Amino acid sequence: MLSKVKTCCLTGLIVTAIDVETDISNGLPNINVVGLPDMAIKESKDRVRAAIKNSGLNFPLKRITINLSPAHTKKEGSHFDLPIALGILGASMQIPLEGLEDTLILGELSLDGKVNKVNGVLPMLLEMCNRGIKKVIVPYENLEEAKIVDGMEIVPVHTLNDIALHLMDEKRLDTYMEPFEYNYEEETNLENFRDLRGQENLKRALEIAASGNHNVLTIGPPGSGKTMAARRLPSILPKLTFHEALEITKIYSVAGLLDAHEGLVRNRPFRSPHHTSSTVAITGGGRIPKPGEVSLSHYGVLFLDELPEFNKTSLEVLRQPLEDRVINISRINGSYTYPADFILLAAMNPCPCGYYGTEGGQQCNCTPYQINRYINKISGPLMDRIDIIVETTAVKYKDLTDDKGSESSEEIRKRVERAREIQLERYKKTKYLFNSQLDGAAINKYCTLNPIAQQLMNLAFNKMNLSARGYSRVLKVARTIADLEGKDIIYENHLAEALQYRNLSGIIS
Amino acid sequence: MMLKQRDIVIWLNHIEGIIHKDIEHLANYFYNIEEVWHADEKHIINALTDRSIISGRIIENRNERFVEKIFGSLDDNNILPLTIFDSAYPSKLKNIYDPPYVIYVKGNKIDFDIPLISIVGTRRATPYGKWAAHQFAKELAKWGVGIISGLALGIDTCGHKGALDGNGYTIGVLGCGLGQYYPASNRALTDEIFKKGCVISEYCLDTPPLKYHFPARNRIVSGLSDGVIIIEAPEKSGALITAGFALDQGKDVYALPGNINNIQSKGANKLIRDGARILLEVDDIIENLKYRYPMDKMNEKQSIKDDLSDLEIRVFNVIKRNPINIDLIINETGIKASELNPILTILEIKGYINQMPGKIFTAVE
């Protein structure tokens, strides 16, 4: 007998529909999986045999051939267990397969017949739904994730036995098909700027960065609040739109990092890989490439603490995603593209010991050569992609006599959201979204200075040793500051403020 | 070929491995140093007892081809050799205990007769020291005082840069030959000094920067100058060697006071305790130079702060009290970061304040 059920597989974020064809014929008992399966699929025959047997069903002692069609694409993943099991049960006439022609089946089996959670459900369902598949059988643990997809009938299963009984019409399972309602519930325990005393300058810089999607470098001695402030950056970024949440969830689904109770990712990602992270951990990779840190921080923040301690190549690979907002990973199996649109927030000390420029207390004992070598680990091209540089110092608590308290993240976020709307409106018909993405001619077009600001710019060029690169960075930041105030052109105070967010004290030349 | 006294010492200076003392022994042994060229081998050997390798090399190199090669390469590199027999040889240097027989000079502007002050200090300078070196050099430049230093990293570099920023004259003294940039990272600065001042060395073209050259170099730094400023020096430092030379040579020694806990200021502070002049403002130096030179300030700074707004003056007054971090300015004045940053930029562009690492601002005198 022959049976045929539907499943699909993921390569990167690209979905391919797969037919699982099962043929049972007379011959020596044997089971064969063909159609370029990877190791996990080849092993599935042992899991399937045990799961069928332990579910009280009958594993046919015949010659079984399973073909994964189309046969020319390589397939990977453990979610083929359930379709293969159902295919065998169907072909051996133990369950009826009518009505399964248009049902997508995903699931991994335990030896006892339990259906386990699988990765990448959301991107697979979204794509297959577009292709006209309206019914899906998924592991129960993937239910929340699957619910996000509108217009699909979802059958969540706990065990192989459940689904067999369901198909035999003996004991129907609950099915779900409600339209998904996106309501943004903010996580209440997000760290808030309200709790951060002092560091007003750093807060302001982060507000500008959030508004214009600018990359930021903070330089300061240990204990000056760099990391504290960084962790609070997501709390002032605009709330996630449904589209953004979906994009992020897809990546987390593929990476297998999705929380079973959550379904949708509701907070902007904040990723802070340790400085010993390998290049592949940053970019994504492996034989079958998985998303790396740059993709996991999509629409969020990638925080690199102790920037110069990172491996040089790990830093240089950031150049492409910072430019194109996607990352291309090529491996022997093909080329994979993951989105990677993030704000880079880096933090570093001014010198290897950390105390260069600190007044009193700890003293710096680094040689000029050591400091140079430390600073030079960050290449010029990478620095070119960082618009805002802020320096911090450790401020003693008792020096902060001001009791009026700090502004909360919610208030700052309101301003950020307004500035972002202005930008989205202005760049509606262009390839840009935010000020930080402007280049070449677009800078001159959109960053108009008023006459006094123009004079100030000329002065700054001469007096502050502004380079040509520094010039365009300052203009972009000034544009964002003007947007925060809702002004069409850049006034002198906007430009003057932007000039402070360059490196002025010469730590980095 | 007729070799004059000056040619002989330049030639001797190019003998591999020769040191100042060797030339001195030769000069004392012979009635006239010109005689070395024709003298009997045994006299040269006698003159340089225990230095048979050197005397051997002198005898070996007594050929005209070698001398022509020396002068050819000096010409090719635009280097002017000045010997102690030349009238252009700096008179201040002539008066020290062991003046070099030859100094090699390279640069567009060579002038040793204007008031010259040397600024020296540690390579591991703190931001305070770097600022002070730059600031004093710049201020002195405005008075027409040339700045001498050793072109090393840290204080030396800042001293030279300050002089150049003040459109002044500066002299760099190297501890190696003029055929190389040392340290290599000061290449751009050295080129700048070639244009607006000069670089000198007592070593011939390709001499490497050997360890013992630097203390010797320091006697030239102090010897050429009318006074020496020690900006920052730990307890054991080349800058203190310079100060010692300056005392022996009868030059004024100024030391910048520093934090007593700062190891980089220990040497300078001890000099003050031991009687060096304390350096608080540029007038401390000008007052002393006035007895020897006519002193005129080149461009008087406008004194009234007409061009600042009330808010700007408020911020400036806070900074003037004490170097202060931006977050503390916000805390003290109550001005928001978004408003304070523009004010700081304006003050900086107008030259009232400077920015230091850690977003610390200091007022410019």
Indicate whether A133 and A6 sit together in one domain.
yes
Q: Mutation target for B interface from A376, A393, A411: give the one with most B CBs within 10 A.
A: A393
Residue A68 lies inside a defined structural domain of this protein? yes
Residue A262 lies inside a defined structural domain of this protein? yes
Indicate whether A230 and A374 sit together in one domain.
yes
Residue A153 lies inside a defined structural domain of this protein? yes
Least CB–CB distance from A464: residue in B325, B338, B349: B349
Least CB–CB distance from B331: residue in A198, A390, A493: A198
Predicted TM-score of the model (pTM): 0.75
B152 to chain A: nearest residue by CA?
Answer: A368
| Per-residue pLDDT in tens (0 to 9) along chain B, 365 residues | 678 888 889 998 998 888 888 888 888 888 888 888 888 888 888 888 888 888 888 888 888 888 899 999 999 999 999 999 998 899 999 889 889 999 999 998 888 989 999 999 999 998 889 999 999 999 999 888 999 999 999 999 999 999 998 889 999 999 999 988 988 889 999 999 999 999 999 998 889 999 989 999 999 999 999 999 999 999 988 899 999 999 999 999 999 999 998 899 999 999 999 999 999 999 889 988 888 888 877 655 554 456 778 888 888 888 888 888 888 888 888 888 888 888 888 888 888 888 887 788 888 86
Rounded-to-integer distance, Cα A396 and Cα B65, Å:
71
Pick from B346, B357, B338: nearest CA to B314: B346
Chain B residues touching residue A460 (CB < 8 angstroms)? 345, 349
**Sequence letter at residue B249:** Q
DSSP category for residue A406: P
Residue A178 lies inside a defined structural domain of this protein? no
CB B160 within 8 A of CB B117: no
Instruction: Give the residues across from A135 on adjacent strands.
Output: A103, A153
Cβ–Cβ below 8 Å for B262 and A366: no
CATH number of the domain within which A256 lies: 3.40.50.300
**Domains in chain A: how many in total?**
2
Residues whose CB is less than 8 angstroms from the CB of residue A217 and which lie 6 or more positions away in sequence, other chains included: A307, A346, A347, A348, A383, A386, A388, A389, A390
Indicate whether A144 and A227 sit together in one domain.
no
Q: Helix or strand or coil: residue A306?
A: coil
How many DSSP H helices and E strands does chain A contain? 19, 18
Tokens of A109: 């089996």
**Helix or strand (DSSP H, E) at A484:** helix A468-484
Indicate whether A112 and A235 sit together in one domain.
no
Q: Mutation target for A interface from B192, B341, B353, B360: give the one with most A CBs within 10 A.
A: B341
What's the pLDDT tens digit per position in B259-300?
Answer: 998 899 999 999 999 999 999 999 889 988 888 888 877 655
A496 to chain B: nearest residue by CA?
Answer: B342
Cis peptide bond upstream of B183, omega within 30: yes
Pick from B153, B123, B119: nearest CA to B136: B119
Indicate whether A343 and A228 sit together in one domain.
yes
CATH number of the domain within which A41 lies: 3.30.230.10
Angle (nearest 5°) at CA B337 between B335 and B338: 105
Residue A505 lies inside a defined structural domain of this protein? no
Residue A232 lies inside a defined structural domain of this protein? yes
Indicate whether A220 and A356 sit together in one domain.
yes
Answer whether CATH 3.40.50.300 is correct for domain B310-363: no
What's the pLDDT tens digit per position in A16-63?
Answer: 999 999 999 999 999 999 998 988 888 999 999 999 999 999 999 999
Chain B residues touching residue A221 (CB < 8 angstroms)? 358
Q: Mutation target for A interface from B122, B126, B326: give the one with most A CBs within 10 A.
A: B326
Pick from A165, A131, A124: nearest CA to A145: A124
Which of A20-29, A370-379, A495-504 is modeled with the greatest confidence?
A: A20-29
Cβ–Cβ below 8 Å for B360 and A364: no
Indicate whether A154 and A26 sit together in one domain.
yes
Least CB–CB distance from B360: residue in A393, A402, A463: A393
Cβ–Cβ below 8 Å for A357 and B356: yes
Pick from A378, A324, A322: nearest CA to A348: A378
Residue A421 lies inside a defined structural domain of this protein? no
Which domain does A326 fall in, by range? 215-386
Indicate whether A343 and A230 sit together in one domain.
yes
C-alpha of A264 from chain center: 13
Q: Annotate A272-310 with b (16+ C-beta within 10 A) or e (fewer).
A: bbeeebebebbbbbeebbbbbbbbbbbbbbbbbbbbbeb
Indicate whether A16 and A111 sit together in one domain.
yes
Cβ–Cβ below 8 Å for B123 and A367: yes
Angle (nearest 5°) at CA A21 between A19 and A26: 175
Answer whether CATH 3.40.50.450 is correct for domain B116-289: yes
Least CB–CB distance from B338: residue in A204, A221, A402: A204
Tokens of B318: 């806070």
Indicate whether A162 and A248 sit together in one domain.
no
Angle (nearest 5°) at CA B280 between B278 and B284: 75
Angle (nearest 5°) at CA A24 between A20 and A30: 95
Residue A500 lies inside a defined structural domain of this protein? no
A465 to chain B: nearest residue by CA?
Answer: B349
C-alpha of B256 from chain center: 16
Indicate whether A133 and A233 sit together in one domain.
no
Indicate whether A145 and A240 sit together in one domain.
no
